[in-house]
A = this chain, B = another copy of it.
Amino acid sequence: MQIGIIGLGRMGANIARRLTRGGHQCVVWDRKPEAVESLAKEGMTGASSPEDMAGALASPRVFWIMLPAGDPTEAMVQQIAAFAQPGDVIIDGGNTFYKDDIRRAKELGEKQIQYVDVGTSGGVWGLERGYCMMIGGETETVRNLDPIFDCLAPGLGTIERTRARHAEDDRAERGYIHAGAAGSGHFVKMVHNGIEYGLMQAYAEGFDVLKTKNSPLLPDDERYELNLTDIAEVWRRGSVISSWLLDLTAEALAGDHDLSKFSGKVADSGEGRWTIHAAMEEAVPVYVLSAALYARYRSREENSYADKLLSAMRFGFGGHVEIPQ
């Protein structure tokens, strides 16, 4: 198929590469001309603007936007909508809040422009491993785009098949699903990231308990000298908690078991927060997903006002002094 890719950061460029390798024709554009030139050298068609891209694509045209969520993506959706024709398709492959998808699909639908939201997991490894995709949009539109999704997905690969699975639709096994109506792709991806935060925090807390057990501050007979690098490695081998995140942990620890090059200040992005919002709209208790998010907030603070207030109260009722000299 022919497809236009807008936004040639790591994700966008690799998606274009994987599609090109799969025999699809990519027309590419980025606000940085050098990013366009670089892919042009790899055999893709460079465009000088989104409008120029539109001219290079046959109707109905497919635009895949791979830009930072929020304003940049929103602006591009509107820019394309301004010149798109009935039947054209706009795909948002970024991490958009799903309610924005619902709104856009409705607005674009009035002009008979199709809108498809694709939640994409796979990070920097996607070019090699393929992308896991969760797709929202109208059934026929999603079906028409199948060659694209099929190419980007990992495929059956060597992953063991799930026993007891008797599904007519084998797309999930090949690494992508049509989750439902507009927004559902990003909704499922959002929850995926919420879970990701929780999993990461579970490992992080556990390794912290191990690490601190080595602390010279503990009495001699309560201390071990645990090798965290080997522990991460052994857990990859037949344990209940083996996972890709553990693989990454083992790799990180193999190179630097004190993780000394990391500051310990951890960023978070919208999906973690939106998962909490969604849980609140549904009245679902999400203790772990919230706690994982808050740990990241806390990691970026030095001494919080909350903590100071605790000290102030303790001073008030008990004369406890927590005032540095």
**Docked CA distance A123–B240 (Å):** 8
Chain B residue, CB-CB nearest to A190: B209
Q: Does A204 contact B (CB under 8 A)?
A: yes
Render A313-325 as a binary contact track against B, CB cut-off 8 A, 1 for contact. Answer: 1111111101110
**Docked CA distance A215–B304 (Å):** 13
Residues 172-227 (chain A) with a chain B CB within 8 angstroms: 172-177, 179-181, 183-184, 187-188, 191-192, 194-213, 215, 218, 221-222, 224-227
With A209-B284, A238-B129 known as contacts, the answer to whether A304 contacts B299 (CB < 8 A) is yes
With A205-B306, A259-B309, A322-B262 known as contacts, the answer to whether A241 contacts B245 (CB < 8 A) is yes
Render A124-143 as a binary contact track against B, CB cut-off 8 A, 1 for contact. Answer: 11100111111000000000
Taken together, the copies of this chain in the complex come to: 4
Size of the A side of the interface (Cβ < 8 Å), in residues, is 156
**Docked CA distance A299–B302 (Å):** 9
Tell me whether B213 and A187 are in contact (CB under 8 A).
yes
Nearest-Cβ distance from residue A82 to partner chain B, whole angstroms: 26
Chain B residue, CB-CB nearest to A193: B240
**Docked CA distance A110–B250 (Å):** 38
Tell me whether A162 and B236 are in contact (CB under 8 A).
yes
Tell me whether A240 and B196 are in contact (CB under 8 A).
yes
Tell me whether B177 and A227 are in contact (CB under 8 A).
yes
**Docked CA distance A261–B277 (Å):** 30
Nearest-Cβ distance from residue A232 to partner chain B, whole angstroms: 8
Which secondary structure dominates chain A's binding surface?
helix
B-chain residues with CB within 8 Å of residue A8 when the two chains form the complex: none
With A188-B210, A237-B175, A284-B297 known as contacts, the answer to whether A311 contacts B251 (CB < 8 A) is no
Tell me whether B205 and A284 are in contact (CB under 8 A).
yes
Tell me whether A179 and B282 are in contact (CB under 8 A).
no
Stretch at the interface among A40-48, A57-65, A69-77, A264-272: A264-272
Quick one: which of A199, A226, A238 has the most chain B CB within 10 A? A238
Tell me whether A208 and B305 are in contact (CB under 8 A).
yes
Cross-chain contact of A208 among B224, B295, B304 (Cβ < 8 A): B304
Q: 6 closest pairs, A vs B, by CB?
A: A198-B202, A264-B303, A243-B243, A248-B316, A285-B294, A175-B237
14 contacts across the A-B interface (CB closer than 8 A): A177-B231, A195-B241, A198-B203, A198-B288, A201-B287, A205-B287, A243-B244, A249-B312, A252-B316, A256-B312, A264-B305, A266-B307, A280-B293, A283-B300
